[in-house]
Amino acid sequence: MMITRRGCLASAVAAAALIAAGSALAEGAPFKMGLLVPGSVSEEGWNRIGFNALKGVEAELGAEVSYVELQQNPASFEKAFHDFASQGYNVILGHGFEFQDAALAVAPEYPDTVFLISSSYISEGNVIGLNTDTSQPFYLMGVIAAKTGKKAGLVGGMEIPPIKEAFEGFTNGVRSVAPDFPISEVYIGNFTDATATKEASLSLISQGADFVLPNASGATVGGFQAAAESGENVKTFSIFSDFTSVAPKNILGLYIADYARGVIRIVGDIKNGKKPTTNVEFGLKDADVMQFTYNDQAANPVTENVRKYVDEVKAKIAAGEIKTRQK
Amino acid sequence: MANSESGQPLAVAPQAYGALWRGLLRPLRTVAQPAAAVALALACGAALLAFNGYDARAVIDVMVLGVFQDTRSIAEILLKATPLILIGVGLCVAFRCSIWNIGAEGQFYAGAAAATAIGVSFNGLGAWLYVPLVMLAGALAGAAWAAIAGLLKIYFRASEIVTTIMLNYIALIMTSYLVTGPLRDAAAAYPQSARLVQEAWMPRILPPTRLHIGILVALVLAVVMYVFLFRSARGYALRVVGISPDAARYAGISVPRNIMISICLSGSMAGLAGAFEIAGVTRRLFQSISPGYGFEGIAVALLANNNPIGAIFSGLLFAVLRSGSELMQITAQIPQVLVLVIQGIVILSVVGFAVLRIPSLRPSE
């Protein structure tokens, strides 16, 4: 078995050398990272996030990188992990929970390779889950909503864990300030129909909500359009990207997640011989990954008092004193 | 391949040579056109790579080296070929009856869903009973799904091309429903079924690789279907219906009956492929369990000129291309779209060469 594997490694390296035409081999074994994505990296969205992380590792850590697009085909996952690992890749990122099973099956054969899995809580040997705890920034938004508004409306894409966890954090944040503060929650059933998000938000606003928060990936923008059309007293929060231009008067602040920064940091640690020993959860403690800022151009900007209070809450969350959601 | 329906090698001396030559030439001719189509397509693909600034020669080296580098790589090819061969062989039967079953994808899903439903339900059955049961569930579900289109054709003259395509979508949506609803693994955060009970797993034949008994079943069924189509009276009747339904009717051959036989056979093969994919490879049902095997199976049958033995080889070819495409991405950074274009060219040139062949395909006038 060992001989075969060594043989296959040798032939793979030889094969790579044929095309690489680089002098990488002369410098000794280069640090290599591979990426598995469940779709095309040429479109904005989930797969691009993984690709950006890979490109960041290439640029900042000088790693050799490569990726494979697998089009939601579970049968091919194991083989792709083998293909990378047998060619001596040091880190392989499976970008999505769906890669977890395949990584677990392959990992024992390649103890020197670290298998990172996005959206996973796994921690088994050299398979490490990476996660962004969105409930934390949403908890802060809940605090702000309860401090500044009368009723909150949440518009989600589909009822899947990342969305539900975010809203759970928001609700807990609201409850920490005002236990009886009314919150309505609506799901549009997809992640693409911005008009549906807008309609749902408008309907929540007409029912008295003065703080609306959309969270529907590509369809999120509809919520900001609804806020902009409903007057300056409707407040909202820009999430994941900067939507300030859509509703400059309504957006109280920005939560921006930079997953690539987190991945670069973890992979950098691995390169320096510091493999994570548990699953990694990025939160407010990781200021490079999660940025939480305010929009001073808003019609009713968040007051200094509230900001001070939010900072205290944020520090407590980062220190692990406040739990933003059930684990 | 061995399409020699003639062949009486034991004739008198002078004719014997002629018969022998014909016996040798005939399979050669059968192979020549698909081989030429593939060669042309690969040449186009190499040109395309070169045009896009890749070293085509090196890429081909990587692909050949990588795809056949060790036991595991070869096992992976056979693993990928299993559903393609099964579906392709089934479609050979349907197409020989001129039933244009475009619904193998849906039948694959139906088989996968049924195999999962059975495979997660029982405990302590023992593999010797459970494994055949899962296979049977897949095959029956695939056949039942295909039968809907067959009945619609017989009773309402609904084109099976349209109905089988539509049924694909229904099967896909029903699978999504199953993995988000009744079959969902409560412990998993994302939509997927529970893992199959271990006794229901397809036995692996080449550990530590993932290769399972499905490939053997596929090979046996290809031979069985070849014998059925070209060496049995029922198969003959089925082909007569395919060439001319009117002539079949005149000869007392039941057209509806043969339509049902052909579409259900092809459906059961696709369903069986689905069962193998679940119980042999993924061991869970996912929303997107097939990367398009059902559609690729059409190309497999087409390249094989609807000959089940040929489908073994065309299935293997497509599996190599698929396997190679992943490797080309990883080792040569060739974007997947370019690989898909090359696969598309293979299919186009196969179809192109099939057009050359039309006079021999057309019913004699």
pLDDT single digits (tens) A253-310: 999 889 999 999 999 999 999 999 999 999 999 988 999 999 999 999 999 999 999 9
3-class state of residue A241 by DSSP: coil
In a domain, B164, yes or no: yes
In a domain, B19, yes or no: no
Q: Do B190 and A98 touch (CB under 8 A)?
A: yes
C-alpha B245/C-alpha A128 separation (Å) is 61
Quote the mean pLDDT of chain A: 87
CA nearest neighbour of A84 among A92, A95, A72, A96: A92
Domain range for B342 is 71-361
Strands A251-257 and A91-94, how do they pair? unpaired
Helices B71-96, B308-332: crossing angle, 10 deg rounding: 140
pLDDT of the residue at B16: 65
Q: Does residue A58 belong to the interface with chain B, where contact is any CB pair within 8 Å?
A: no
Q: Does residue B46 belong to the interface with chain A, where contact is any CB pair within 8 Å?
A: no
Chain A CA closest to residue B77: A79
Q: Do A75 and B330 touch (CB under 8 A)?
A: no
Q: pLDDT tens, position by position, for chain B (365 residues)?
A: 444 444 444 445 556 677 766 666 666 767 777 788 888 888 888 888 888 888 878 777 777 777 787 888 899 999 999 999 999 999 999 999 999 999 999 999 999 999 999 999 998 889 999 999 999 999 999 999 999 999 999 999 999 999 999 999 999 999 989 998 899 887 776 788 999 999 999 999 988 889 999 999 999 999 999 999 999 999 999 999 999 999 999 999 999 999 999 999 999 999 999 999 999 999 999 888 888 899 999 989 988 889 999 999 999 988 988 888 788 888 777 877 777 787 788 778 877 776 666 555 444 44
Q: What are the pLDDT digits (tens) for A40-98?
A: 787 667 788 899 999 999 999 999 999 998 876 778 899 899 989 988 999 999 998 88
Q: Do B331 and A80 touch (CB under 8 A)?
A: no
Q: How many CB atoms lie within 10 A of CB A14?
A: 13
Tokens encoding A326: 């059930």
Q: E strands, A59-206, where?
A: 64-69, 91-94, 114-118, 123-124, 127-132, 152-156, 183-187
C-alpha A196/C-alpha A202 separation (Å) is 10
Residue to mutate among B82, B283, B326, with most A CBs inside 10 A, is: B326
The shortest CB-CB distance from A68 to any of B282, B289, B330 is to B330
The shortest CB-CB distance from A12 to any of B66, B192, B329 is to B66
Q: Domains of chain A, with CATH numbers?
A: 2-133+260-282 (3.40.50.2300), 135-257 (3.40.50.2300)
Contact A202, A177 (CB under 8 A): no
pLDDT of the residue at B64: 78
pLDDT of the residue at A129: 95
CA nearest neighbour of B69 among A9, A76, A67, A107: A9
**Contact residues, chain B, for A92 at CB < 8 Å:** none
In a domain, B60, yes or no: no
Chain A CA closest to residue B59: A19
The shortest CB-CB distance from B330 to any of A8, A18, A66 is to A66
pLDDT, greater one: A166 or A192: A166
ipTM: 0.71
In a domain, B148, yes or no: yes
In a domain, B35, yes or no: no
pLDDT of the residue at B45: 83
pLDDT of the residue at A326: 83
pLDDT of the residue at B14: 59
Q: What does each C-alpha distance from A67 to A35, A71, A82, A89 come to in angstroms?
A: 4, 13, 13, 11
In a domain, B151, yes or no: yes
In a domain, B191, yes or no: yes
Q: Does residue B222 belong to the interface with chain A, where contact is any CB pair within 8 Å?
A: no
Tokens encoding B186: 């409560």
Domain count, chain B: 1
Q: Do B330 and A87 touch (CB under 8 A)?
A: yes
Q: How many CB atoms lie within 10 A of CB A138?
A: 29
C-alpha A194/C-alpha B159 separation (Å) is 38
**Contact residues, chain A, for B327 at CB < 8 Å:** 83
Q: What's the CATH code of the domain at B264?
A: 1.10.3470
Residue to mutate among A67, A82, A98, with most B CBs inside 10 A, is: A98
Q: Does residue B193 belong to the interface with chain A, where contact is any CB pair within 8 Å?
A: no
C-alpha B329/C-alpha B322 separation (Å) is 11
Residue to mutate among A55, A72, A73, with most B CBs inside 10 A, is: A73
Chain B CA closest to residue A70: B326
CA nearest neighbour of B67 among A83, A16, A94: A83
Chain A CA closest to residue B329: A68
